[in-house]
Structure 1
Amino acid sequence: MALLGADILLYPTAIGTEPILGVDSMPHWQRAMQGHAAANILPVAAANRGGEERVLPCPENGGQTSALTFYGSSFLTDETGGIVSQANRTDEDILYARYSFANIRKERINWGLFRDRRPECYRALVKG
């Protein structure tokens, strides 16, 4: 996205419990978003739903009941992926951070991540 001129990545999500796996995937979701910030050298704003949603039995789900608890935990990162502000899992919140997009653009250029990329190595992947 940074190659196309983005200054910040916005990720609206609805990530919650994994009823079949029985694992807390929130840390994995968070690290993936932090990786997007670091790989693109730009901040990420990850908004996630909170609360619980119950699935009632019906013919479409084979009569099963289940519930999904959303993680909340929305957060903002800096351009390196470091978390600068984070909500908790249960409360609605408004997060704030101050960014200098001009300084971040300079930092992105100085890192050389895009200068040193080798698109010829992955061209076959994007041809479809």
Structure 2
Amino acid sequence: MSAICWDQWFPEAARAMTLQGAEILFYPTTIGSEPQDQGLDSRDHWKRVMQGHAGTNLVEFSSNRIGKEVIETEHGNSEITFYGNSFIAGVTRKIVAAAMINMKPCVLVAQFDLD
């Protein structure tokens, strides 16, 4: 089953999907630098939260955007650089496949015995 970007921060979404029969959790996300604080790096926090979902529920795949986006606002331009670093984590929270940080698009593959 799949949740969307902001759902990733809440354990209830992962648990609800598991209770509904999900065997794999998929989280497409758009997380990156914080426009309001260029010194804030939440990438490792994001990965640990996603690994926690995998460990407490099931296998998980988290995909994340790459590249940079500039948004024009009334206060000037706001820029975000997406982390990339998509990964697949197993039931022990171990990352079994991972993309490079903020690099080119790629395909990650891992095999799990769901029996």
The TM tier, using the shorter chain, reads 0.7 to 0.9
Instruction: Spell out, residue by residue over 1:24-58, the C-alpha distance to the aligned partner (whole angstroms, 9 max, x if none).
Output: 11101111100101111x111001000000123xx
What is the TM-score of this pair, normalised by structure 1?
Answer: 0.72
| Runs of 4+ in structure 1 over 4 Å off | none
Residues in 1 aligned to 2:64 and 2:88: alpha-carbon distance in whole angstroms: 11
Residue 23 (1) aligns with residue 40 (2): yes
As a proportion of its length, which structure holds more helix? 1
Aligned length: 97
Structure 2, unaligned runs of 5 or more: 1-16
Structure 1, unaligned runs of 5 or more: 103-128
Residues in 2 aligned to 1:36 and 1:44: alpha-carbon distance in whole angstroms: 7
% of aligned pairs identical?
A: 44
Post-superposition offset of 1:66: 2.0
As a proportion of its length, which structure holds more strand? 2
What is residue 113 of structure 2 aligned with on the other side? Answer: 100
CA RMSD after TM alignment: 1.1
Post-superposition offset of 1:81: 1.2
Structure with larger Rg: 1
What is the TM-score of this pair, normalised by structure 2?
Answer: 0.79
